[in-house]
Amino acid sequence: MSQLLKFGLILCAICLAATLVLAVTYQVTKPKIEEQLRREEREALETILPEADSFTEKSVDGLDYYEALKGGELKGYCVKVTGSGYNGFIRMIVGVNPAGVIEGVEVLEQQETPGLGADINKIKPGEKDPWFLRQFKGKDAATLEVKKNIDAITGATISSRAVTDAVRKTITEFLAKVKR
């Protein structure tokens, strides 16, 4: 057997073993990762609309959301929003009250540049929540605009716009569909 064929078979066996180890690792960790994501989503719901005691998952025309209820009375909606940032997707949950006013925004997942775009989630010393996301609270989604009523993060205008545009577009679309 030629030495080239021998090394080719050894390399193939190593690649096959590595692929098998990765596949098994993925299957073992997948349920744990999904459970952690569900837990983080639940915590975000409770942070955005703390007065609600139950959240019912629903969907309208492809938009996933939760109805936030307290004693059967509607307290608001928590809408799943995805924006396209500088380095990838930014997944968020946005809470709106029945009148359509934003109650809060929580980032669930983002891959923005550390020290720049990732600062959408940065909490300043002595504060409890991210200063950038706090700007959305109490505003009408249709009026959101960077440099108008939302201050961009220095050096991260793309990420700031991505969050603002995604919230404005998705919440405006959602409210139009729910209030039909």
- pLDDT at residue 30 in the model: 94
Contacts of 23 (CB under 8 A, 6+ apart): none
- pLDDT at residue 62 in the model: 87
Over range 1-8, report the average pLDDT. Answer: 87
- pLDDT at residue 87 in the model: 86
Model pLDDT for residues 63-117, shown as the tens digit of each residue: 999 999 999 899 999 999 999 988 889 999 999 998 889 999 999 998 888 878 7
pLDDT above 70 covers what percent of the chain?
A: 99
State how far the Cα of 168 lies from the Cα of 92, in Å rounded to an integer: 12
Tell me the pLDDT band of 179, cut-offs 50, 70 and 90.
Answer: confident
State how far the Cα of 179 lies from the Cα of 98, in Å rounded to an integer: 10
Q: What is the pTM of this model?
A: 0.81
SS3 content of the chain, % helix, strand, coil (to 5): 45, 25, 30
Tell me the pLDDT band of 152, cut-offs 50, 70 and 90.
Answer: confident
Please report the sign of the dihedral spanned by the C-alpha atoms of residue 150, residue 122, residue 106, residue 88: positive
- Would you list the domain boundaries of the chain? 44-178
118 SS3 class? helix
- pLDDT at residue 157 in the model: 86
Model pLDDT for residues 11-43, shown as the tens digit of each residue: 999 999 999 999 999 999 999 999 998 999 999
H or E element in which residue 20 lies: helix 3-48
